[in-house]
Structure 1
């Protein structure tokens, strides 16, 4: 199963530009307004986004962030946790020290109370002691149908950890490096999911960000072998978060492609027409403050819950 109806989202209480992640997230920009105003705007965008998802029949579990931990990036939970259809929860090692405080066991209790089954927790966080990181489904773009894990290597995604993950979950690694131009210099993109989106039958990808021709050819070969229609986006569109989309299931098993309004508005009519062939509806919401200060967008905010449901007592 590639997509799910169930999403976990964390409502921010201390959202701001995170100085610890800004060192290698080149999508972030500083807004010259007070942090309290930034957080208020982010909360408004978050609440509107959740309403849009709920109105389309997506099962959204919203959990408030904790004030005492001071975690400015908590709105992006998919980087530290993932939920799998065999009942496994995975917890990941994080690059920024203040992001490690986002990890919280009570989320598992909340999901179990909602009827999800958790059989085991796989914890890779000890790798932080060796300065090795792999930031969840930000780093790992899963093709669950074909058991492949696409990963753009960066300071937040180390190859040895990806290989360990792939061995543990019996999937094939598809490894490359993706770059963006920052003040005339080509630097690694911090997360795979800002330059690539994997749907059931399609993939959105910024091929121009993969500078190595053999790596680019390898990625394309895997996608074509698996019958994916490729929707190529430009680097300019990527910077509008057009790669940061997520396909989910809505009401009546509809296929929804979820993104920010800036991402949607950057797409060409031809790209939209192609995506509409594989989705019943394209859904978008304005996330300008979150994108500017957080350097992440719609997909980063949604942690997919693939966990099985608990069997009801007879």
Structure 2
């Protein structure tokens, strides 16, 4: 396995993955470390056993329904260590992949989340599922500088236009962001500030916006006006922009993901909470871009502060064999 930095070989601009990595919530609990800047997390009145049962049920049902729909799911039953990883169910924050066979790992802001980064085990799981990994690249050296970039948690990517959208925060450092964009050959980065009613920035861009091949969902009211116009103008060039309210964002309407099935059909994965919060008109708009797939992940949402999109690590790696 190569770890030296290389220029990208040949990255195909495909917006939607037809394969995702999902991680079972076997150590899942309220994460005090991430709660410092994640206002979406909540304590719940459930026993440890109830939390484990409910979250595992939510996870298994989601895996089953995605596979039934024709999306390949790689279950990454990661090796446990001495340090618990309560947020391992959100794998999209520590890795990304490209169609040239490159796999990237990222610097995570919280110490217990840094323990989730297990590239060797992930490569084994991906290759066993029929995917080809040509090289592994790491940006974790930035940890020494206290600079973080939590992958597609903080980067919402328009692959077709080679553009990365990112809300700057403690978890999204501009320098690391620019470095990653350069490495994968994406020539445009649109970074911006955000502010919640508390005055704090959004912890992850993917709770406020999602990009599909021909649409975008965005809570633009959290972006300062002088930057908001530029972001919306950029998106509206070739996307149908669906604006959501702060309340809809809090119910994870921005945390959705367009995927492809093995037959090439488009589907849009979202939580039941998000589905119920979209207006009928917005659901009608979204349904023109793919079949809507709502999943009940309420326990994971409430305790973890992340939803369906966070649970899906997209896989763009080349395929050796087609298998579900």
TM-score bucket (shorter structure)? over 0.9
Match for 1:174 among 166, 190, 193? Answer: 190
Q: Residue 180 of structure 2 aligns with which residue?
A: 165
Judge conservation of contact 1:56–1:251 (CA < 8 Å) in 2: no
| Superposed CA offset, 1:259-308 (max 9, x none) | 000000000011011111121x1001111100000000000000010001
Listed as ranges, the gaps of 5+ residues in structure 2 are: 1-13
| Superposed CA offset, 1:154-176 (max 9, x none) | 11001111111112122210001
Judge conservation of contact 1:141–1:198 (CA < 8 Å) in 2: yes
Judge conservation of contact 2:72–2:262 (CA < 8 Å) in 1: no
Aligned residues: 306
Q: Residue 42 of structure 2 aligns with which residue?
A: 29
Match for 1:99 among 98, 113, 129? Answer: 113
> In 2, Cα distance between the equivalents of 1:178 and 1:40?
36
> In 2, Cα distance between the equivalents of 1:301 and 1:132?
24
User: Helix, strand or coil: the match of 1:236?
Assistant: helix
| Superposed CA offset, 1:222-249 (max 9, x none) | 1122x10000100000000000000001
Q: Residue 193 of structure 1 aligns with which residue?
A: 206
1:206 aligns with 2:227: no
> In 2, Cα distance between the equivalents of 1:168 and 1:249?
26
Q: Residue 149 of structure 1 aligns with which residue?
A: 164
Cα offset, 1:117, TM superposition? 1.2
> In 1, Cα distance between the equivalents of 2:300 and 2:215?
27
Q: Residue 283 of structure 2 aligns with which residue?
A: 272
Change (3 A) 1:56 1:311: closer
Listed as ranges, the gaps of 5+ residues in structure 1 are: none
User: Helix, strand or coil: the match of 1:300?
Assistant: helix
Match for 1:123 among 132, 138, 157? Answer: 138
Cα offset, 1:251, TM superposition? 5.2
Judge conservation of contact 1:13–1:67 (CA < 8 Å) in 2: no
> In 2, Cα distance between the equivalents of 1:301 and 1:308?
21
Judge conservation of contact 1:203–1:228 (CA < 8 Å) in 2: yes
1:254 aligns with 2:265: yes
Judge conservation of contact 1:15–1:35 (CA < 8 Å) in 2: no
Judge conservation of contact 1:133–1:158 (CA < 8 Å) in 2: yes
User: Helix, strand or coil: the match of 1:22?
Assistant: helix
User: Helix, strand or coil: the match of 1:188?
Assistant: coil
Moved over 3 A (4+): 65-69
User: Helix, strand or coil: the match of 1:283?
Assistant: strand
User: Helix, strand or coil: the match of 2:35?
Assistant: coil
TM-score (norm 2): 0.92
TM-score (norm 1): 0.94
1:279-298 equivalence runs, <5 A? 279=290, 281-298=291-308
Q: Residue 240 of structure 1 aligns with which residue?
A: 251
User: Helix, strand or coil: the match of 2:263?
Assistant: helix
Judge conservation of contact 1:12–1:64 (CA < 8 Å) in 2: no
Cα offset, 1:54, TM superposition? 1.2
Indicate the structure with greater strand content: 1
Cα offset, 1:82, TM superposition? 0.7
Cα offset, 1:214, TM superposition? 2.1
User: Helix, strand or coil: the match of 1:50?
Assistant: helix
| Superposed CA offset, 1:151-204 (max 9, x none) | 0011100111111111212221000122222xxx22101000000000000000
